[in-house]
Structure 1
Amino acid sequence: MTDKAQPPTSGTTTPAGPSAVRGASLLIALQIASRAATFIANQLLLRFLTAQLLGVATQLEVYYLSVLFFARESLRVAIQRQGGRENTADAKDGKFKKDKSSSSSSSQSAVNLAYVSILLGVLVALLLGQLYLMSINKTTDEDNEHPPFLVPSLYLYAIASAVELLSEPAFVVLQLRMQFGARAAAESVATVLRCATTLGAAVLSTHLTSESGVGLDIGVLPFALGQLAYGTGLLAVYVWFGAGLARLDGFSLFPRRLSGANNDSEYALQLFDRPTLHLALSMSVQSIVKHVLTQGDTFLVSILSTTTTQGVYALANNYGGLAARLLFQPIEESSRSYFSRLLADDGAAKNVKTDKKDKKEQENAPTVRAARDLQTLLKLYLLLSLVVTAIGPAAAAPFLRLVTGPRWAASGAAATLAAYVWYIPLLAINGVAEAFVASVATEAQVYRQSVWMGGFSAVFAAAGYVCLRVLDGGAIGLVAANGINMACRIVWCLVFIQHYFSKRGVSFFGDVTSTLMPHPLSVLAAVVTSTAVRRLVPVAAATAGPAAQITQLIKIAVLAVPLLVTV
Structure 2
Amino acid sequence: MARNILKSSIENASFSIVFQVLFRCITFILNAYIIRTVGQEVLGIMNVRLLLLESTILFLSKEPILKACLTNTSTINWAQVINQIWLSVPLSSVINITLVYVWINILTPTDDKYQHQYELGCYAVALSCIVEQVSQVVIDTLYVVSRTIIFVYYVETEPEYPINAFSIAQIVSSVILCLSYYGFFLWYIPALNKVKEIKKKEKNAEKNIFSDMTDFPFTSFIQLFPGIMENKEAMLDSKLCVLTMSFIKQSVVKQVLTEGERYVMTVSPVLTFSQQSVYDIVNNLGSLAARFIFRPIEESAYFYFTQMIKRDEILTKQNKKQVAESAEVLSQLCKIVVTIGLVVVTFGQAYSYSFLYLYGGQKLVENNLSVVLLRFHSFAIVLLAINGVTEGYVFATMNNQQLDRYNYLMVIFSVMFLLISYILTYIFGPVGFILANCINMTARIVHSLNYIHKQFQDTEFTPLDGLIPGKKFLITLVLSGIVTILSEIYLLEKSIFIHIGAGAVFFLITVSIWALDNMTLLRLGLEKYKSRKSSFVKQD
Q: Common fold, TM-score beyond 0.5?
A: yes
Match of 2:212 in 1: none
Match of 2:219 in 1: 250
Deviations 1:311-359 (A, max 9, x none): 010010010011110111111111111111122486595447xxxxxxx
Q: 1:260 to 1:194 in 2, by over 3 A?
A: closer
Greater shift, 551-560 or 414-423, is seen at 551-560
Q: 1:406 to 1:530 in 2, by over 3 A?
A: same
Deviations 1:199-258 (A, max 9, x none): 11111124xxxxxxxxxx113222332232332222112212334566543351221166
Aligned: 1:538 with 2:489: yes
Deviation (angstroms), 1:120: 0.4
Deviation (angstroms), 1:452: 1.1
Structure 1 counterpart of 2:236, one-letter code: F
Q: 1:548 to 1:135 in 2, by over 3 A?
A: farther
CA contact (8 A) 1:150 1:220 kept: yes
Mapped to 2, the partners of 1:44 and 1:494 lie a distance apart of 42
Structure 1, unpaired ranges of 5+:
1-11, 87-105, 171-185, 207-216, 353-360
Match of 1:99 in 2: none
CA contact (8 A) 1:147 1:219 kept: no
Deviation (angstroms), 1:51: 1.4
Mapped to 1, the partners of 2:401 and 2:61 lie a distance apart of 22
CA contact (8 A) 2:311 2:397 kept: no
Match of 2:200 in 1: none
CA contact (8 A) 2:135 2:178 kept: yes
CA contact (8 A) 1:289 1:450 kept: yes
Aligned: 1:65 with 2:31: no
Any residues of structure 2 matched to 1:153-192 within 5 Å, and which?
Answer: 153-170=121-138, 186-192=139-145
Structure 2 counterpart of 1:127, one-letter code: T
Any residues of structure 2 matched to 1:222-261 within 5 Å, and which?
Answer: 222-244=165-187, 248=193, 249-250=218-219, 252-256=223-227, 259=230, 261=232
Which residue among 267, 277, 285 is the counterpart of 2:249? 285
CA contact (8 A) 2:311 2:399 kept: no
Greater shift, 16-25 or 554-563, is seen at 554-563
Deviations 1:269-289 (A, max 9, x none): xx2111101100011111100
Match of 2:164 in 1: 221
Aligned: 1:55 with 2:57: no
Mapped to 2, the partners of 1:126 and 1:540 lie a distance apart of 55
Mapped to 2, the partners of 1:74 and 1:563 lie a distance apart of 40
Deviation (angstroms), 1:82: 4.2
Aligned: 1:549 with 2:496: yes
Q: 1:562 to 1:278 in 2, by over 3 A?
A: same
Mapped to 1, the partners of 2:408 and 2:85 lie a distance apart of 27
Mapped to 2, the partners of 1:37 and 1:487 lie a distance apart of 33
Deviation (angstroms), 1:147: 5.6
Match of 2:461 in 1: 507
SS at match of 1:255: coil
Match of 1:316 in 2: 282
Deviation (angstroms), 1:408: 1.2
Structure 2 counterpart of 1:289, one-letter code: V
Mapped to 1, the partners of 2:359 and 2:441 lie a distance apart of 29
CA contact (8 A) 2:79 2:231 kept: no
Q: 1:70 to 1:539 in 2, by over 3 A?
A: farther
Aligned: 1:389 with 2:336: no
Structure 2 counterpart of 1:532, one-letter code: V
Deviation (angstroms), 1:20: 1.2
Aligned: 1:23 with 2:12: yes
Deviation (angstroms), 1:33: 0.9
Match of 1:521 in 2: 472
Aligned: 1:306 with 2:259: no
Structure 2 length-normalised TM: 0.84
Which residue among 438, 442, 445 is the counterpart of 1:487? 442
Deviation (angstroms), 1:67: 0.4
Mapped to 1, the partners of 2:170 and 2:460 lie a distance apart of 46
Deviation (angstroms), 1:129: 0.5
Comparing both structures, which one devotes a greater share of its residues to helix? 2
Structure 1 counterpart of 2:37, one-letter code: F
Structure 1 length-normalised TM: 0.80
SS at match of 2:495: helix
